Structure 1
Amino acid sequence: MKRLINRLQDETRIVCGVSAKLAKQYGWSLLWTRVVTVGLVVSTPSIGLLAYFVIAVVMSQKTTRF
């Protein structure tokens, strides 16, 4: 369990880096941001995954413009 918690607290990208970017931007805990993200995707997979990848695309466009 300790290894999983260490992996979730690592700031490297796991899928698209959405949770890491959101946590850094708003000053949230990275671990809890990822836990909530996974919870949303597991509870409503279609809406959760769609929202996750829309945020990933928006965040990548936002960072490449500047």
Structure 2
Amino acid sequence: MNRLISRLQDEARIVCGVSANLAKQYGWSLLWTRVVTIGLVVTNPSISLAAYFIVAVVMSQKTSRF
């Protein structure tokens, strides 16, 4: 369990870096941002995954412009 928590708190990108970027941008806890994201994906996978990857595309376009 400690290994899982340390992995979730790691700044490294797990999938597209959406949770890490959101946590950094808004000053949220990275661990809880990832826990909420995982919870949303488990409860409603189709809409959550679609929204996740849309945010990933928007974030990548936003960073590539600068």
* Letter matched to residue 21 of structure 1: N
User: So what's the TM-score if we normalise by structure 2?
Assistant: 0.99
1:7 counterpart = 2:7 = yes
Give the match for residue 33 of structure 1: 33
Aligned residues: 66
- Counterparts of 1:1-66 in structure 2, within 5 Å, are 1-66=1-66
**Identity of counterpart residues, as a percentage?**
82
User: Would you identify which runs of 4 or more consecutive aligned residues in structure 1 move more than 3 Å?
Assistant: none
Per-residue Cα deviation, 1:10-51 (whole angstroms, up to 9, x for no partner): 000001100000000000000000000000011000000000
User: So what's the TM-score if we normalise by structure 1?
Assistant: 0.99
Q: CA RMSD in A?
A: 0.3
* Letter matched to residue 63 of structure 1: T
Unaligned segments of structure 1, at least 5 residues: none
Structure 1 CA distance for aligned equivalents of residues 51 and 40 of structure 2: 10
